[in-house]
Amino acid sequence: MDRAVKIDAQGRIAIPAAMRTKLGLQIGDTLFAHLDEETGGVRLAKAINPFDLLFEHAVREYRAGKTTNLRDFLAEEIDEPDGDAE
């Protein structure tokens, strides 16, 4: 998807609505800008909070039944020590 955009008097560009929708960009999102000095191109990438990614991963693991509650985990550790002497 290619679109022509103009730079306004304050040096801003507007990302077309169709692109924002496709990329999941919303008002207030932060983007990283990367200048490729070889090509003169600019790449933008949405800045994502790593804790949001961890949360989404944890929810997927939980829904897939791949999680153990803390009490069961500790019971297994007590019943079957891994051999580490502390």
- Domain range list for the chain: 50-79
E strand or H helix at 60: helix 50-63
Residue pair 3/23 in contact by the 8 Å Cβ criterion:
no
Q: Span 49-75, mean pLDDT?
A: 89
Nearest to 17 by CA among 27, 7, 8: 27
Q: Global pTM?
A: 0.52
pLDDT in the model for residue 85: 53
Which are the contacts of 24, defined by CB distance < 8 A and separation ≥ 6? 46
Half-sphere exposure of 53 (CA within 13 A, CB side): 5
pLDDT at residue number 84 = 59
- Element (DSSP H or E) covering residue 32: strand 31-36
pLDDT exceeds 80 at position 42: yes
